[in-house]
Amino acid sequence: MRVLAPYLALYKRHKWLLSLGVILAIVTLLASIGLITLSGWFLSASAAVGFAGAYTFNYMLPAAGVRGAAIVRTAGRYFERLVSHDATFRVLQHLRVFTFSKLMPLSPAGLARFRQGDLLNRVVADVDTLDHLYLRVISPLVSALVVIAVVTFGLSFLDITLALTLGGIMLLTLVALPPLFYRAGKPTGESLTQLRGEYRQQLTSWLHGQAELSIFGASTRYREQMEQTELSWHEAQRRQSELSALSQALMLLMGSAAVIVMLWMAAGGVGDNSQPGPLIALFVFCALAAFEALAPVTAAFQHLGQVMASAARITELTEQKPEVDFPQTAAEVPGQMSLTLNNVSFSYPQQTQPALANIHLQVNAGEHIAILGRTGCGKSTLLQLLTRAWDPQQGELLLNQQPIAALDEITLRRSMSVVPQRVHLFSATLRDNLLLAAPGATDDELTTVLTRTGLDKLLDDSGLNSWLGEGGRQLSGGELRRLAIARALLHDAPLMLLDEPTEGLDATTESQILDLLADVMRDKTVLMVTHRLRGLARFEKIIVMDNGHIIEQGNHAELLAQQGRYYQFRQRI
């Protein structure tokens, strides 16, 4: 139960709304019990007086009570559903924000060991499962306890022995059955949570990798694996349904036993009345109705195992410590940015081979640097260290002669514009995706930057309201790169980090983009990772990397004169 403590604390934000939902649930249950109890007594009493007592029996008051109880039950049920679900959705909203706020500082280091589908399942499905905690556990349990107390107290005015007997049977049922079905349902609930996560992860991978699976003939084998997981998931659901049916059967059995006991005991007399007559029906129908309050409780505790398993999966994410900590003190964004790396070394977790080793680099403010090297030589890792996706295990990294770790996150993000290798677009409009880089930009500014990056044709249909869809699937690879460059231009930071900015572009477009970058980056400090050699002569310094080391550096003419690795690259053109 300890795993639920952090999530129960979130319920305190809406304690009044949640409490109102519980109160309405209690009122609804009591109205339902009162309706059935009063109706049973009224019919029995009416039959008992017959025609002879028709003029002396008070029909009006019980009839009004029946109508009043029916109205209260109907209205109470409606408003209880309305309030309870509204409160639950508000709690889930805060839980999603809380979970996401914990995830953001973990990226990318803390999330590297989780697959995309698994993360999605935890943030969406596991969070949704936690709504059972209030709707299926807390509210039914509290309501059942209050109903037992009220029913016992009310019946005690007629016969305290019968009242305590019925209350004792209900309390015994509440104490015995829920823990029993919690223990029985816990393994099934945990299995359901795990299999649901596995299946959705496999489904996500299958949807994203259909082309590759078809090309390499692995689609059938992968689909069989998914079907096996789905069958296991269905089997777990079947076991849970069987437990639900068993819990309802036992609850019905206990309710029937309570009715028989009430019938037998009431037949011997109710209070001082040795000829109870209609009072027998009152106790019998009250026992039938009272067990309605207990019906959801056993099923609730059966699902508690699934709720706890989902809570544990979310906690596994949220309790991780970020690899990178940012100070809280805000600073001003400088107009110019210099960069210094002194003896920087870095290795990824579980990797013995260092990604960067003893890197020394001085980049003056306004200087343009190109970084070359084979795939895996550490070029992109170097840019990730500059964005503080990771911190180096050795050495120091300085921005304007100030340790990069001394900058708060907001200042650091405002100080640099990044064009990453993988460009992510949200399922939103063209305008929304551009405003991520510059929330205050006007439509004219957005249109201008699209035109400058050669994306003006995206404005042909719906203009800035064009819907890009999930990941911008209708865009080509070159268009994605240019859209990332447009974002970087809008961000307008003093330091620009470009990771393969012309990848996927044809020669003409590449030349246009390089000319554009040279124009807008004239007064900015630039580090551009590339494996394409076009336009490198305009850079003040070119760095060649291999196996995490800088093996050559100098301008275009100097490196050609050395006839080293850069010279070899040029010879292959």
Q: Which of 120, 73, 74, 77 is nearest to 100 (CA)?
A: 120
Average model confidence (pLDDT) for the chain? 83
Tell whether omega for the bond before 140 is within 30 degrees of 0, i.e. cis: no
The reported pLDDT for the residue numbered 96 is: 83
CB 156 within 8 A of CB 214: no
The structure tokens listed for 342 are 């002194």
| DSSP for 180-219, written as a single string | HHHHHHHHHHHHHHHHHHHHHHHHHHHHHTHHHHHHTT-H
CB under 8 Å, gap of 24 or more: what pairs does 111-117 form? 112/349, 114/317, 115/201, 115/205, 116/204, 117/200, 117/201, 117/202, 117/203, 117/204, 117/205
The reported pLDDT for the residue numbered 231 is: 92
What is the 8-class DSSP label of residue 396?
A: E
| Rounded distance between C-alpha atoms, residue 283 and residue 263, angstroms | 7
The reported pLDDT for the residue numbered 54 is: 56
The reported pLDDT for the residue numbered 37 is: 87
The reported pLDDT for the residue numbered 473 is: 65
67-71, 204-208, 219-223, 492-496: which range is least confident on average?
204-208
Cα angle vertex 564, ends 562, 566, to 5°?
105
pLDDT digits (tens, 9 = 90+) for 430-477: 888 889 888 888 888 888 888 888 888 888 777 788 887 776 667 777
**Which CATH code for domain 339-571?**
3.40.50.300
Displacement of CA 68 from its chain's centroid (Å): 44
Other CB atoms within 10 Å distance of the CB of residue 498: 23
Q: What is the mean pLDDT of residues 231-252?
A: 87
The residue with greater pLDDT, 181 or 35, is: 35
CB 501 within 8 A of CB 528: yes
| Rounded distance between C-alpha atoms, residue 107 and residue 351, angstroms | 19
The reported pLDDT for the residue numbered 373 is: 84
pLDDT digits (tens, 9 = 90+) for 268-287: 878 777 777 788 888 888 88
125-134, 147-156, 276-285, 383-392: which range is least confident on average?
125-134
User: Does residue 225 surpass a pLDDT of 80?
Assistant: yes
Q: Which residue has the tokens 């009152």?
A: 282
What is the 8-class DSSP label of residue 136?
A: I
Q: Which residue has the tokens 């343009």?
A: 368
For residue 164, name the pLDDT band (cuts at 50, 70, 90): very high
Question: Residue ranges per domain, the chain?
Answer: 2-318, 339-571
Q: Which residue has the tokens 């009242």?
A: 163
The reported pLDDT for the residue numbered 57 is: 65
| Rounded distance between C-alpha atoms, residue 570 and residue 559, angstroms | 10
pLDDT digits (tens, 9 = 90+) for 398-437: 888 888 888 888 888 888 888 888 888 888 888 888 898 8
| Rounded distance between C-alpha atoms, residue 163 and residue 148, angstroms | 10
The residue with greater pLDDT, 573 or 277, is: 277
What is the 8-class DSSP label of residue 494?
A: S
For residue 149, name the pLDDT band (cuts at 50, 70, 90): very high
The reported pLDDT for the residue numbered 71 is: 92
What is the 8-class DSSP label of residue 564?
A: S
Q: Which residue has the tokens 């907001």?
A: 410
The reported pLDDT for the residue numbered 573 is: 60
User: Does residue 192 surpass a pLDDT of 90?
Assistant: no
Burial bucket for residue 12 (CB in 10 Å: 0-12, 13-18, 19+): exposed
Query: Phi, psi (5° rounding) for residue 157?
Result: -70, -25
**Which CATH code for domain 2-318?**
1.20.1560.10
Query: Phi, psi (5° rounding) for residue 293?
Result: -70, -25
Q: What is the CA radius of gyration of the chain?
A: 35
| Rounded distance between C-alpha atoms, residue 300 and residue 143, angstroms | 13
Q: Which of 13, 85, 42 is nearest to 281 (CA)?
A: 42
- Name 545's bridge partners: 373, 550
- The overall longest dimension of the chain from CA atoms, in Å, is 125
pLDDT digits (tens, 9 = 90+) for 320-373: 777 788 888 777 777 788 899 999 998 887 777 888 888 888 988 888 898 988
